Structure 1
Amino acid sequence: MAMLKKKFFLFFKTRRQLKLWKWFSQQSLTVKLVGAVSIIVCLTVGFGTFLLMNISQQRIAETSITTALYHAQLIKSKLIEILLDETAQPEDIDRFLKTGYDKQNFDVQEINAFNEDGLITFSSSPEQLGRQATVLSGQTNRVTQDNAFTEFVGQGIKERLHIIQPIKINATCPWCRDETGNRINGIELFIPLSSIYQRFVSNNILFICLGVILIFFIALLIQWLVHRIVKRPLNKLMQVMERAEQGELDVRTSIREDPQLRRLAKSFNTMIHGIQMAQNRISRQHRHELAQSNRLASIGQFVSNISHEIKNPLAAISSAFHALRNELKSTGNEAVYEEVKTQIEKIERTVNNLLRYARQSPPHWESCRLLEVIHSALHLAGHRLKRQGIRVQVMSSASVPIVEADQGMLEQVFLNLFLNSADAMLHGGLLTISIDQREYFDQPNRAKQIVRVEVEDTGEGIREDDLAKIFEAFYSTKRKGTGLGLSVVKGIIEAHHGTIEVKSLPDKGTKIILSFQKFMKAENLVTV
């Protein structure tokens, strides 16, 4: 039961300590700092006060004992004088023991003179006569330099200092022996220590009061120093941070009180300056992009109108030209026919690119055999590729997926890429198209599959400075290019939730990597 009760109180004591620590950890930095330093100061001052109190008590006790021994020696000497006086009477000894010493400077509760048998023969308290005195002759560890014996008797405030002074005088003195013939062998004194205890208490109260006052003033000093060195600079920094949080990025602060806080303020100023510069750059970029967006929107509207105006007459010209096909062939102008046909198809592609760029219509989703889309685009570009002596190599994995996409848009993507490769290989080369299926993890334990198409040529390549701009509308590295092909391609790929990546080295060739993440199922196809 006692053990259970002990554990119960220990549990609640631990919980109180945890609550106190939790409360302290939630306080401000100033409270924590002042509290921690105050606790250290209290412990230091308390320990110092405790040491001073012990030292003071020891000094008071030593001084009191020395004074008591001194007065005891005086009483002994005076008593010996009385004993050696031939005219002295026993009443003189009693009178001296009762009133013959300096009571104002020396407080003695009781003085007894005892004989060789230890019996008290003279005493300042008559009731002690005939009693046995406490002889300490065997306790040599309590002997003083003048052969006096000392001990403390009693407890607490009733404690007394017991002193025994031996007396050795010539046996011929008239009063050295009592009625029984025994010599007076010594005197014993009982000195109350209540006055010493009062001095102890007074000194302890004094030291405690001084310690409390010292702790109070030190706590005030610590609080003032913390407020001046830490809290005031931090409040200043917090005010500036709040202004910066509200959007005033031109604010700055300076702290001189502490080197570390000075570095903190400097770092804050550097951070705010960096944020301000970044915001200015973003703002300029935003204004630039907004202006470009407005300009491109205007161009898109203009292009859409112009394309419609061109497309209708172009359709009529194409129909009329096809009607003249047999007549031109019969007159031996088949080469002229093919050239005109090529130029008309080129104008149609340019107009279609312009319309696609201007409209940016969403895809019409359907199931598409990716390999068939690629072959269809190769068929459309086949005449030009064959004329320039470009070899085509198509490689695919054993299982090629059927993607979910807009077949017409994908065909336009691959046709633009093939024609760009043809523009880069005017004197022949190799066009490689590879298709494969890969798996990656977009989240832990969650696999996703992508279809990856690589279109690689051995043409003249693209300079590194131009790589970052090739997807911008109306930007082209070719003299006669419109700058819309890759821009339209990128827009279509992004509309299909895919990605496009370009790798190129000047004079070595270009590789364009397309990735589609959305597909339906796989179908075994034959490698071409």
Structure 2
Amino acid sequence: MRILELLKNMTLRSRIVIPMIALSVLPATGIAIFTIVNMQTSMRSAAIEREVVDTSMRTRKLEEFLKAVETDLRFLSKGRLLNDLAEARRTGQHERVGLLRRQVEQELILFSQGKRSFYQLRYIDTDGLEVVRLDVEEGRAKVVPVSRLQNKSGRYYVQESLQLSPDQLYTSPMDLNMEGGRVEVPFRPVLRFGLPLFGESGERTGCLILNLNATNIFELIEPLRVGTEAFFVDATGNYLGYVGPEEDKRERYSLGSERGLADNFSTTESSRILGPGIQDLYLETPDAVISVETVSVATDDSANQWRLIVAHSIDEFGAPIRRLTIYLSVIIALVLALVAWIGVLVTNNLARPVAELRDAMSRIAANRGAIKRVASPGPANEIDGLSREFQMMAERLEQTQDRLQGLQSELADAGKSASMGQLSSGLLQDLSDPLVAIKNKIQATEPGETAGTIALIRSLLADVERMEEVLQLFSHQTQAPRPEVISLASIVKSVVALVGAEVRHRGLQIEVDADAGVPPIKGDFTQLRQLLINLILNAADAQPESEHIIIKITAMMSDDHVEPVAVGAMVKVIDDGQGIATESLIKIWEPFYTTKQDRVGLGLAICRRIVEEHGGRIEVSSQISHGTTVTVSFPIASTEADPSA
């Protein structure tokens, strides 16, 4: 309901645009969000699956390597020279033992060349004594002299290997290599393979022991992607080694560190990692996505299995998803913007004819200018029908206005004729009366009446002055103005010089207050002078209470409060006479209206006509017993405007 109330207070365009955009953008936004979320979920699932498969492939690679080592060891156990050496030692053929030992050493050297994961390769007899031993460093084999050969009968892996049946293979747990009964420093984790040896008659002749360098085994899973690291743990959860970019972790998670899964994972997570059936297992922590695979070190020994734990950094893991999300978001934002733009275009297309109708109706209501034609919005529809109906109404209204204007013009012409008739009638009456009086007075004058003659002449003079006034006032109705650029101050100065004596004769004082910087105006000097003469004489005709006539000339300023400029000139004629009653103020502009018995009542009517012909305004304000103020204002002189036009 609140939304409907808000829409009611909006413009028609807004009431169309907002729902249109909402109906187009909101569904598109919903689809976009669904697409992004679904895409993120799909990409995340695909990424996890890819990492799990990648871990599985690394595990298979490692297991294949161990199987290859087993194959190599079995191949060596079948060698003729090795079996001849074992037989010569068993039968006491001491003269052959030395030669066969050297031949076996050369054979083992050739076999070990380039095998970086080999660390030691030994033939040990049934008493646990080393008969032949090669130490291999970075794929380079070196024979250990007989004097440095050791007794390994107490080592568990020798004992286990010597108890095996034919074709059985022993794989030891990973531990630290020992030399001379002590752990080798620096620590060297090794994985040992043991294979029993038997003579031609089936008697046990010893065993073949191969030590693998665990560090080189771990490196088989490289290279790892950026943000990825791997850990090896045994079946009990102890760390065996680390593969990754951080060197400090190599020692921290090495076999000698005695660290376990419990140091980094919860009990539940540790149980899942070490439990059976962990193929394609993955875990999520706050910092990483972890995939786990089982490495079968010995196919016939489930207890001797490792766990390969590959941790993928959340930041690197989610980087492709974030990039795609940003890419999709930009595309969707552009699509939404396009949809909104199309919505606005469609809305404008719908709202434009309605706005044109409203504008046309406003123009008609305000009676401004001609009625313009309303453009059709296109194919026939409801708005098109409304436009046609409105156009028909507008045309009929225009015809009515034309007829009304014709009637008004005829009425105005009739009014002018009536006014001229009224004016002519008044002039005839006002001129005939004093002429008849003059005629009668002259005829009644007798010779010798000197005093009476003087009085008669004065009376005749007054009648003549009355006729002169009427003729002067009437002359302004027929004379065409002659505009020129003049100043109000010069006109006032001329008028004061002309009527000053008469005003002073009536006991009044004229005060002129002219501001500096009053702009010039454009007008007929004679008409404007007559205008001010009429106004000043009207002020002088005020009741006897009047003592002063003030003429104030000022500039008329613009309404700009920051930097007003002069836009015209203004003159005020102020008297302190009795004033004019409110009901009389309404009638003072009517022709022949006057409150003086010896006046014709044309003064202010003609004054108003003169002011309007000059593009000015005249206003009268008055209060009983406080005098009257007549304000006349004219626009500033301009070469582009003609007051007489």
Between structure 1 and structure 2, the one with the greater Rg is 2
User: TM-score by structure 2 length?
Assistant: 0.41
Structure number with the higher helix fraction is 1
User: TM-score by structure 1 length?
Assistant: 0.48
